[in-house]
Amino acid sequence: MEHDFQVAVIGLGLIGGSFAKAIKEYTDYTVIGCDTDQKVLQKALNEGTIDRALTEKKEIGRADMTILCLYPHQAVRFIEEHLEAFKPGSLITDTCGIKRYVVEQAQRLIGRRDLHFIGAHPMAGREFSGYDYSIPTLFAGASMILTPGEDTGKIEFMKAFSKALGFAHVEVTTPQQHDTVIAFTSQIAHVLSNAYVKSPNALRQAGFSAGSFKDLSRVAKLNETMWTELFLLNRDCLGYELDMLIEHLSEYRDALKDNQPERLKALLKDGRELKERIG
């Protein structure tokens, strides 16, 4: 690893705090941290999660790498506001759950400047948010999705960096492919879980639940501010998945209401076979 390589972690919430802690734990990089909450920043300094606080705009110029652990609009705004301050040749990355918007805006802003941007989505989280829940092992065994867009300059570094922090698998893809698939694997699961618990019978489930209820309701407790932003920035893809799911559910509902065992069984068989193919 390079000597005195400096990493700026912008936003010390669950993800940013965990990045800072993992970098301190698994690399010999210097960590510069920044958070709008002064108590969090002070705690991160006291605990040694960060080596130094980023207080002035120009200080970002010392960072060889900047990790934006912010919501999408904030992340783009940070790039915009620090465009002239970033260290020439340095790498900027993010941790947002959608990629087209962030990568397009970052590339537009960077233009022909000597800066590298690689979109990143660490597939890890907890049912709690904030610095206090951040842990250095958050990424252990998880997948990291990288969307370099047209900028592939630092991709090998990003892969090695991800592995060093504990990610078990690094997937390199396009922003479009990321947003398409993530609408299915993650976003719709959050909508579904959140919609599921709205049945009046959700309040009567104690004692009647095996694994299914737990599985389905697990992610209902979400941060609505963050997810609203993520969902709206992926409207086309998530809208497609929601249409698809509602359409499929209606088929089962109709077969059930029309009391058609063969049709219902065929629908269930199709799903079972698909699941066997997917694994």
Site for its own copies in 150-169 (CB under 8 A): 169
Q: Could you tell me which stretch among 54-62, 73-81, 110-118, 193-201 binds its own copies (CB under 8 A)?
A: 193-201
Q: According to the binding rule CB under 8 A, does residue 46 interact with its own copies?
A: no
Instruction: Identify which of residues 1 and 206 has a Cβ nearer to its own copies in the complex.
Output: 206
Tell me: does residue 1 bind its own copies (CB under 8 A): no
Angle (CA) 187-190-194 rounded to 5° is 145
Q: Which of 182, 184, 197, 185 is nearest to 243 (CA)?
A: 184
Write down the least CB distance from residue 267 to its own copies, Å: 7
Edge-to-edge strand order for the sheet containing 6-10?
A: 52-53, 30-34, 6-10, 65-68, 91-94, 116-123, 143-147, 169-172
- Whichever of 1 and 278 has its CB closer to its own copies, that residue is 278
Which positions from 116 to 155 touch its own copies by CB under 8 A, shown as an x/- string? -------xxx----------------xx-x----------
C-beta closer to its own copies: residue 160 or 268: 268
Alpha helices in the chain (DSSP H): 14-26, 38-46, 72-82, 100-110, 155-164, 175-182, 188-196, 211-217, 224-232, 235-257, 261-278
| Closer Cβ to its own copies, 85 or 264, answer by number | 264
Nearer to its own copies, 155 or 197 (CB): 197
Q: Which amino acid is at 219?
A: V
Based on CB atoms, which residue is closest to its own copies, 29 or 161? 161
Contact by Cβ (8 Å): 86, 68: no
Residue 158 CA, chain-centre distance (Å), reads 16
112 contacts its own copies (rule: CB under 8 A): no
Output 113 or 218, the one with its CB closest to its own copies: 218
Evaluate whether 30 touches 7 at the Cβ level (below 8 Å).
yes
From 12-20, 34-42, 155-163, 260-268, give the range in contact with its own copies by CB under 8 A.
Answer: 260-268
- Footprint (CB under 8 A) of its own copies, residues 197-226: 197-205, 207-213, 215-222, 224-225
- Using the rule CB under 8 A, give the single segment among 40-48, 76-84, 85-93, 186-194 that binds its own copies: 186-194
Q: Considering the rule CB under 8 A, would residue 108 count as an interface residue with its own copies? A: no
Cα–Cα distance measured from residue 98 to residue 180, given in angstroms and rounded to the nearest whole number? 10
Alpha-carbon distance 10 to 26, whole Å? Answer: 19
Spatial distance between the Cα atoms of 100 and 119, rounded to a whole number of angstroms: 9
Q: Does 194 bind its own copies (CB under 8 A)?
A: yes
Residues 11-40, one symbol each (x = binds its own copies by CB under 8 A, - = not), give: ------------------------------
Residue 63: name the closest of 26, 24, 30, 22 by CA.
30
